[in-house]
Structure 1
Amino acid sequence: MELKQVQYFIALFEEGTVTRAAKRLNIAQPALSMQIAKLETEIRQKLFERGPHGMAPTEAARLMYRLYTPIMRDIDHAREHLSRRDVIVTGRVSLGMVSSEAQSVLPESLARFDALFPQVEVSVADGFSAQLIDAVESGRLDAAIINKPRGRLTLDVEPLLVEEMVLVTSAAHGPDLPDAIDLTAPSGIEFVLPTRRNGLRGALDAALMAADVVIQPKFEIDLLSTIVQFVEQSSIATILPRVVVQAKVDQGLLRARTIAVPPIVRHIIQVTHPKRPIGPAASALIAIITEEIRRVTTGAPAE
């Protein structure tokens, strides 16, 4: 998914017709329609229905609009600050991240951020979602990127993205499985999963429970890097977000299969304290991290 496609989608959602959206974007109507069609193919969802009064958004489009509009606003805000040569952003950003994201995209994100904000100091802590929520509430962190918990939060919450979770096996030692997995069908697969302290396990269990599926893992491990190494060297399978395993999939060491039934996703959110709003540097760092996650999982180039 490219940033340009998201911009086109938002314009069509807000304008309601291809004609007005193309005029707003200063592009040809066929170019807009083509990008929307590519986006629908990529996410495997219909976003608009053509009607007598224009393009009517589907429920999937409404969800996408709610998720992506804040991200685009943050990116535009960061670019605005960067374009003002008289403004030098300084200070310190203290951010928390769940380890699955920190291990996967943090080095590249920090390198990009440092090139844009060289005078900003950054401190990043990783941990479980519950620990990071406590740190934001107590003021030890400015913000945190976490798995959406089941319960209500007293913090300000901003959706960042919805991420696919995939079934992962070793390319060399894993079982022979179809490209699309139905977890409701008996398979004999043995699993290693994160423990129930991990927010990833909460997202997984919720999806399985809703589909009346029970998975009893043979192993439970909290260190995601250890899970990945274990799966790579054995016939054991796991279920993890694509961002965690994509690098080894690209290297040919792991295989990642789509879970068709039931589809399993985890919701990544940003939490901040309602009395301590974050500044432009923190917003820009979170936007960069979000874009890096999307780049890794879709193969789209960074903007």
Structure 2
Amino acid sequence: MELQQMRYVAAIAETGSFTRAAERCLVVQSALSHQVARLEKELGARLFERNSRMVRLTDAGRAFLPAAQQAVDAAERARAEVAATVGEVSGRLAIGTIPTVAAVDLPAELGRYRVRYPRVHITVRSGSSEDLVEEVRAGSLDLAFLGVLPGFRPKGVRDMELATDELVAVVAPGHPLARAPEVDLARLAEETFVDFAEGSAARSQSEEAFQAAGLARQVAFEVTGVEFLAAFVRNGLAVGMLPSAFVAELPGVCRLSVRDAPARVERLAWGRFRPSPAAGAFLAGLGVTPGRGRADGAGG
């Protein structure tokens, strides 16, 4: 069993195609297919089901992939660690972020980082705070920017607070509240809402504020992205609540301060163990000393 074969399996699983995997790995497809066939023969099981329309992992392939990916990642990490000893930062940097991150100008930070460390392969994935914490804990993300309730501490990772903000109401320009400088939760509870998925940290920031005030509201529209939420607001279908620092960048909506506004805290989370050279360099650029972040040893 060879490391390159594991790289091929991981690439096929990710792209869903032998052709695209070969392009990614810079090898001709026939050579890639031959190596996968050799590996399947050695393992005594087929790793992929393939026909003219699709490629997907078999049960054996799904069992094999996590360990294969760990081996590939470990090899890349070893190579990056050696390069770092002579002052060359390379490898991968995998970042997760909530869509409403405002404490850090992430594209600008990554632009500066790319200029300084051009050999690092950067990926960014947007998602919910809950999912991002789990991926940092599992090692599939190096670090993540979160938006959570005050007092929330992600478990099994190191983390630090970046900023505290309040939610504001967002309405369409033609809405009766559009010219009001401020609104209270009781008045907002009369409106139809668009919000994020029930149970998510993004939803709980507003949900808990209404519950604490003894108010019920109607959330008729559930979305996963900020732009989709803003589209419902712009078209007069609903009102929403978003972090004030983020709304400043959102066109086509009017913002109102909210009395007794829900609070939102942005946190940065990274792994409990020593970060890779690429991740360590990014954290250092943010002024973060990796070993000094708060670490909760609890799992789950």
**Shorter-normalised TM range:** 0.5 to 0.7
Asked if 1:205 corresponds to 2:207, the answer is: yes
Asked if 1:268 corresponds to 2:270, the answer is: no
User: Deviation string for 1:228-266 (max 9, x for gaps)?
Assistant: 0121121521101234432234xxx21111112x12121
Aligned-residue Cα RMSD (Å) equals 3.0
Output the CA distance in 1 between the equivalents of 2:131 and 2:160.
18
Structure 2 runs not aligned, ≥5 long: 1-85, 289-300
Note if contact 1:158-1:271 (Cα within 8 Å) is conserved in structure 2.
yes
Q: How far is 1:269 from its partner?
A: 1.1
Q: TM-score of the superposition, structure 2-length normalised?
A: 0.57
Output the CA distance in 1 between the equivalents of 2:270 and 2:127.
16
Output the CA distance in 1 between the equivalents of 2:112 and 2:90.
16
Q: TM-score of the superposition, structure 1-length normalised?
A: 0.56
Match of 1:29 in 2: none
Please state whether the residue corresponding to 1:266 is helix, strand or coil.
Answer: strand
What is the percentage of aligned positions where both structures have the same residue?
A: 23
Output the CA distance in 2 between the equivalents of 1:151 and 1:275.
17
Output the CA distance in 1 between the equivalents of 2:231 and 2:187.
27
Amino acid at match of 2:185: L
**Higher alpha-carbon Rg:** 2
Match of 1:3 in 2: none
Output the CA distance in 2 between the equivalents of 1:287 and 1:218.
42
Please state whether the residue corresponding to 2:232 is helix, strand or coil.
Answer: helix
User: Deviation string for 1:85-126 (max 9, x for gaps)?
Assistant: x95544432111122339x95434422332344343311112
Note if contact 1:174-1:234 (Cα within 8 Å) is conserved in structure 2.
no
Note if contact 2:182-2:258 (Cα within 8 Å) is conserved in structure 1.
yes
Output the CA distance in 2 between the equivalents of 1:99 and 1:187.
25
Amino acid at match of 1:120: V
Aligned length in residues: 198
Q: How far is 1:179 from its partner?
A: 0.9
Note if contact 2:113-2:282 (Cα within 8 Å) is conserved in structure 1.
no
Please state whether the residue corresponding to 2:258 is helix, strand or coil.
Answer: strand
Q: How far is 1:286 from its partner?
A: 5.1
Alignment of structure 1 residues 97-246 onto 2, 5 Å = 97-101=97-101, 105-148=105-148, 150=152, 153-173=155-175, 175-185=177-187, 188-234=190-236, 236-246=238-248
User: Deviation string for 1:5-46 (max 9, x for gaps)?
Assistant: xxxxxxxxxxxxxxxxxxxxxxxxxxxxxxxxxxxxxxxxxx
Alignment of structure 1 residues 26-105 onto 2, 5 Å = 89-101=89-101, 105=105
Note if contact 1:190-1:218 (Cα within 8 Å) is conserved in structure 2.
yes
Please state whether the residue corresponding to 2:248 is helix, strand or coil.
Answer: helix
User: Deviation string for 1:41-99 (max 9, x for gaps)?
Assistant: xxxxxxxxxxxxxxxxxxxxxxxxxxxxxxxxxxxxxxxxxxxxx95544432111122
Note if contact 1:169-1:235 (Cα within 8 Å) is conserved in structure 2.
no
Note if contact 1:198-1:222 (Cα within 8 Å) is conserved in structure 2.
no
User: Deviation string for 1:133-175 (max 9, x for gaps)?
Assistant: 2211111111111123647612222111112211001124564
Greater per-residue helix proportion:
1
Note if contact 1:93-1:281 (Cα within 8 Å) is conserved in structure 2.
no
Note if contact 2:96-2:144 (Cα within 8 Å) is conserved in structure 1.
yes
Output the CA distance in 2 between the equivalents of 1:226 and 1:186.
20
Please state whether the residue corresponding to 1:217 is helix, strand or coil.
Answer: strand
